[in-house]
Amino acid sequence: MFLEIIRCLLVFTLLSIGLAWPLAAKLPLSAVEKLVASLVLSLVALWLFGWTLYTWTLSWSLLWLLPPLAAAGLIWRRRELVALLRDPIAGTYLWSQLLVSLWTLGWLSLVQNYSGGGWTGDWFEHWERALFFLNRQPADHLFLGIYPLTARPPLGNVIMAVWLHLTQVDFPHYQLFSTLLGSLAFLPAALLAARWGGNCTTVVVLAVLFMVNPLFVQNSVFPWTKLPSALFVLTALYFFLRFRDGTSPRTSALLCSTALAAGLLTHYSAAPYVLALALGWSMLRPTDWRRLEFLRITALAAGAGAVLLATWFGWAFATYGITGTLATSTSVTTTAADAGGQLWRVLLNLRDTLVPHFLRSPDPALIAQTSPWGYARDWFFQVYQLNLFLALGSTGWLVVLREAWRLWPVSAPAARGFWAGFATVTGLLGVAVHGARDEWGLTHICLQPLVLLGLAFFATRWASLGRGWRCVATVGAVFDLICGIGLHFAVQNFAFDRCLTPSRKAWDVLTSYNPQTLANVFGLARNHLVTLNESLNQPPLLVLALLAALLLLALWQWHTSSSAR
């Protein structure tokens, strides 16, 4: 199985970078920017190729053209590729990304059963959607027996179908590729951190922050499409800022619009960021190129994004109709009947997203269970996933707010206005677009890019923190690693039950957890799904030792990069 994982890593890397490398290598970008541009454009190419095969009912065997095409692209532009690999700055990004990806795969290998708060079913729905495209199932198929195809955008599912066809169509491979794709959200976040005055050390600091952040790690191993959407959103934000500065405006604008459209085709949670950046774009006042040129580039970028969106929406309108396409998302189906009722829902959801559950009194039935470690895990899980501030870490949110307050008086008014507006608009819209009432909070739905952006800011400010604040941040990170990550995966691995109550019957163990955990167990059993954990069948202690080695390696890289400055 380890050789198969290596093969999957090679296929994933080749197709995620190589397909668009001939184009990205020619763009007026730095080495790392070319890497991120090639990543995003390669994923878009995978979508376009897979979607064309599906909609034109062409043979999936044509997908075997992709690996040689990607390899040929890398060979064709090998000079730029060699320059990228020799670039010490790019090397830091690549090495840090590798550590983050291996870290998430290590935690994934411990998952015997998905659980955590109210998370249930979504993992199977997206697996089912990937199979839907591969098997060309009827257009009226309902996922989980509830949702039509148009309830979710399909880019991530089609890309998964492509990777599965080229390797092996089973659940462990799906888990593997889903986690790898989600882990790539680190790269654009690192670009943004470097843009804010960071350096190689900042990139390594950010890698460590990602590795100890419960929201990122928990979402990376849960196979849905929110983190992949965040990857596109953060890339779009980076190239928007580059365009705003007037740096290669045509290239930056096209990459921004393409990434935004791809993010929306991956998960509709990207919609608030599309609106926020569209608003920011409309307020730009170009000074170093002509107004006519600005309008021309804007029209070109808008056209590129619209064409990419049309690949899905055009087909969906023709197949399901406008109502059947736009009125099936849960954001629409769960909206209150009257505007006043919906406004009240939004205000309550906003409060519950900002105020952690232990300072309120939400209905405890969701996490009620007789398992003490299951309850403790869910208690912390609901804190890290659903509260906007604590999603940054138990002390990370304090550091971010303090440093933002310190920077506010010395920042340029335009910068202050943009970031305050961006955070406000995306925060409010990210809660408002969720139609249903959720008294536990909604950070995990639309606000993940905002949290990752906060971690990037945190990384840039580490060097300016005093010794006391560094100690506070370190203690908080250790606490998050234990209570937000270690505890979570110990429960998903049933480690406490095996070690502390080994004589209990399996049924008694399962029923001691909340109903969502039991539903996920039944979902795996009913559909005869084997997890990556079962396929590897490695002792948990060995996996934990390897994870500890990865973390020590990241800390050592942090130390050496700091010493070299």
Q: Is 132 exposed, middle or buried (0-12, 13-18, 19+ CB in 10 A)?
A: buried
pLDDT value, residue 332: 63
| The total number of structural domains that make up the chain | 1
- Residue 415's contacts (CB-CB under 8 Å, 6 or more residues apart) are none
Tell me the C-alpha to C-alpha distance, in Å, between residue 403 and each of 81, 396, 410, 454, 462.
37, 11, 12, 11, 10
CB under 8 A, 24+ apart: contacts of 244-248:
244/280, 244/284, 246/286, 246/287, 246/288, 246/289, 248/27, 248/28, 248/29
**Are 299 and 343 contacting, i.e. CB atoms less than 8 angstroms apart?**
no
pLDDT tens-place string over residues 311-357: 999 999 999 999 999 887 766 666 655 556 788 899 999 999 999 99
Dihedral sign from CA coordinates of 478, 483, 489, 495: positive
pLDDT value, residue 291: 82
- For residue 259, the enclosing domain spans 2-563
Tell me the C-alpha to C-alpha distance, in Å, between residue 387 and each of 148, 359, 373, 392, 547.
30, 11, 21, 9, 27
pLDDT value, residue 436: 84
Given a cut of 50, the residues of the chain with pLDDT beneath it are none
Tell me the C-alpha to C-alpha distance, in Å, between residue 525 and each of 40, 188, 518, 532.
36, 38, 11, 14
Half-sphere exposure of 198 (CA within 13 A, CB side): 27
pLDDT value, residue 343: 87
**Are 444 and 119 contacting, i.e. CB atoms less than 8 angstroms apart?**
no
pLDDT value, residue 335: 60
pLDDT value, residue 292: 86
pLDDT tens-place string over residues 120-177: 999 999 999 999 999 999 999 999 999 999 999 999 999 999 999 999 999 999 999 9
Q: Residue 349 is encoded by which pair of tokens?
A: 């959801």
Kindly give the interhelix angle for 448-461 and 226-244, rounded to the nearest 10 degrees: 60
User: In the chain, what's the furthest Cα-to-Cα distance?
Assistant: 76
- Residue 276's contacts (CB-CB under 8 Å, 6 or more residues apart) are 421, 422, 425, 426, 429
d(Cα 209, Cα 460) in Å, to the nearest integer?
A: 11
